[in-house]
A and B are shown apart, each in its own frame.
Chain A
Amino acid sequence: MLDLSQYSSIGAALREAMQAFAGEVCLIEADRERENHRLTYREFAERAAALAKALQDGGFGAGERASIIMTNQSKWLISAYAIFNCGGVLVPLDYKLTAEQQWGLLRHSGAAMLITEYAIWRQLAAAAEGRAACGDLRLVLVTETPAKAELAGALRWEEYRADGTPAFVGRERGDLASIVYSSGTGGQPKGCMMTHENYLEQCVALTSLYPFWPGVRYLSILPTNHAIDFMVGFFGPFVCGAAVVHLRTLRPEFVREAFAKYKITYVSLVPLVLKNLQKGLLARFAELSGGKRRVFDLLVEVNKWLTKRRPRPGLSRRLLPQVHSAFGGELLTIIVGGAFTEPQTLQFFYDLGIPVANGYGLTEAGTAITVNDLKPFRADTVGKPLPGMEVRIVNADSAGIGEVHVRSKTVMAGYLNEPELTANTIVDGWLRTGDLGHFDAQGHLHLAGRKKNMIVTEEGKNIYPEDIEGAFESLPVKELCVFAADYIWPRGSMVGEQLVLVVHLEAGQNFTDELRQQMVERNNRLLNYKRVHGLVLVAEDFPRNASQKVLREKLREQLATLERASAVQPL
């Protein structure tokens, strides 16, 4: 691994990596059974240089913002390196957002350039209003455009190249490296301004626990615009000479094949996918005949005993070859992110000899704050603070639970164009996470809930209850409100979070089957992960301020006096 203390920017470190590991494979892109690309660091650098030179010839300069909206593929990383080489600021956006949302963020970020794929551009170009409002955008490059397709003013990525060596534009550690969006209430974009220092420091901390080296292969499944994949699926492996494998399909059957075909070492997943893998394995175990099953269960018990203090991958592979061969035989760790995972699922994989690196992080904190260090494995916590992270619990109650605050060189510079929000979020250098937790005697952090009225789903999606209320508007009731159930009645856990609909009927109104049916219908119109799971009927008026706005905090306090089990009925 490069000594990152020697470099002042992502671009400078990557540039050094291109030379230091020139002959190693850095990137494999596959689509189903076909391999599209297999690039060495030298080849990767050559491709990026042709793009960087063309960008520089076109006037793209230091500090300018360039957005990437792409699925995980080789051109994502080549484009990002070219942007950093030019001293640009990267704005990675979620390809799953709607065209209107993407245009909104492009405008908010002040992007001068966009690099995207044809299928995404087709949707963006059709949303003419959003584009018209995006005055700063002067260049759009589109990959994989069919031969005769109309490009609506954009240029083909594959043809946008120039001969010659691009000038390397250096940046300082405190300069802006990227703007990463995290979701906020009411669709309000929160652009986290990340500096080069944030990334360099986070990379040192993470690789101290989960190292990469030439020969390691990371399977990139989480979207690269996500802070986790950007770090462990691009910057981290690249500065260590490792390789990243991109799949153009996420169909489970091809993902399964990829583990064995590419001898994957690390992979990052959201809890939903991890649980799906668990389900698949359990189904396979259930097919074993009585005798074989007993032998298998015994071997799992032996593995559990042998790996009690630390993982022993070689031993686990020999004991349980049928499980490990399904994962390619070289998998060291599954990194799980985006949301929290049930301890039983984590333990299930660990017992089979596959550690899951669960942790806790926020984009605002530069991704990870705590990570399970596997010394020994603990399924019941989110691990210990990473090196360089100061974590404190503020305003702790009698059980030691309080708000988690973080201070570190990895904490963002602030929210773009939001000085007030920034000032409320980072106070005296400490990032207020809005999450509740406590430390145990071994220094492991346990999370106990949120200070904010929100939930995070198993797919890693942040849901704000206020944004759901519109779906129930104009129901024939006096008033209604949506809450995160755990925000009212904390359970001391952050998995399986659910929303509840709080309803106050008109005086004398009965709760009829017809009304319930209307609620169910409205609920079913929501995307499945946004649906409410419970109903609370209250008899009193909601507390409101002078301008008739519901005082949510006060309402929450009133609801908290009720018994959860009897107050919430399923919807």
Chain B
Amino acid sequence: MTRTLEQTTQEVLELAANHFKVAPGTLAPGDDFFRKLGINSLQALELLSRLENHFSIELPDYEMQGVSDFQTLAERIQSRL
């Protein structure tokens, strides 16, 4: 299945909302996920693992350094689809 960046971004937002139990629709692409979700670095890694399973890709930790917003996260995922 081919996804557009918009679709990927939407799926990232839905998965994050579901995983951290926040109301769907409260997260926006430009949000900083550490701030918006109030999560620590370990919880961010949990989210990455969840996204990897969903998209069937590998997201190396070191390539995610400095990524803190959903949009950039979705772009990094998109480049690996």
Asked if B60 and A459 make an inter-chain contact with CB atoms under 8 angstroms apart, the answer reads: no
A455–B58 CA distance with the chains assembled, in angstroms: 36
Partner of A251, one of B40, B61, B63: B61
A528–B42 CA distance with the chains assembled, in angstroms: 12
**Inter-chain contacts of A524 with B (CB < 8 A):** 35, 38
**Inter-chain contacts of B39 with A (CB < 8 A):** 528
Report B26 CB to chain A, min CB distance, Å: 12
Listed residue (B34, B64, B66) with the most chain A CB atoms within 10 angstroms of its CB? B66
Q: How large is the interface on B (under 10, 10 to 19, 20 to 34, 35 or more residues)?
A: 10 to 19
B49 adjacent to chain A (CB < 8 Å): yes
Report B35 CB to chain A, min CB distance, Å: 6
Given contact pairs A249-B60, A250-B45, A527-B35, A119 touches B65 in the complex (Cβ within 8 A): yes
**Inter-chain contacts of B48 with A (CB < 8 A):** 251
Asked if B65 and A459 make an inter-chain contact with CB atoms under 8 angstroms apart, the answer reads: no
**Inter-chain contacts of B35 with A (CB < 8 A):** 524-528
Q: From residue 25 to 81 of chain B, which have CB atoms closer than 8 A to chain A?
A: 34-35, 38-42, 45, 48-49, 58, 60-66
A98: nearest chain-B partner, CB-CB: B66
Partner of A528, one of B34, B45, B58: B34
Given contact pairs A117-B62, A123-B66, A251 touches B49 in the complex (Cβ within 8 A): yes
Given contact pairs A99-B66, A119-B65, A123-B66, A248 touches B38 in the complex (Cβ within 8 A): no
**Inter-chain contacts of A252 with B (CB < 8 A):** 42, 45
B60: nearest chain-A partner, CB-CB: A248
Considering the complex of A and B, which 3 residue pairs feature the smallest CB-CB distances, nearest first?
A528-B38, A71-B62, A123-B66
**Inter-chain contacts of A528 with B (CB < 8 A):** 34-35, 38-40
Given contact pairs A31-B60, A527-B34, A527-B35, A120 touches B41 in the complex (Cβ within 8 A): no
Asked if A249 and B61 make an inter-chain contact with CB atoms under 8 angstroms apart, the answer reads: yes
Asked if A119 and B62 make an inter-chain contact with CB atoms under 8 angstroms apart, the answer reads: yes
Q: From residue 85 to 99 of chain A, which have CB atoms closer than 8 A to chain B?
A: 95-96, 98-99
**Inter-chain contacts of A250 with B (CB < 8 A):** 45, 61
A73–B41 CA distance with the chains assembled, in angstroms: 19
A282 adjacent to chain B (CB < 8 Å): no
A525–B35 CA distance with the chains assembled, in angstroms: 6
**Inter-chain contacts of B61 with A (CB < 8 A):** 71, 248-251
A251–B49 CA distance with the chains assembled, in angstroms: 8
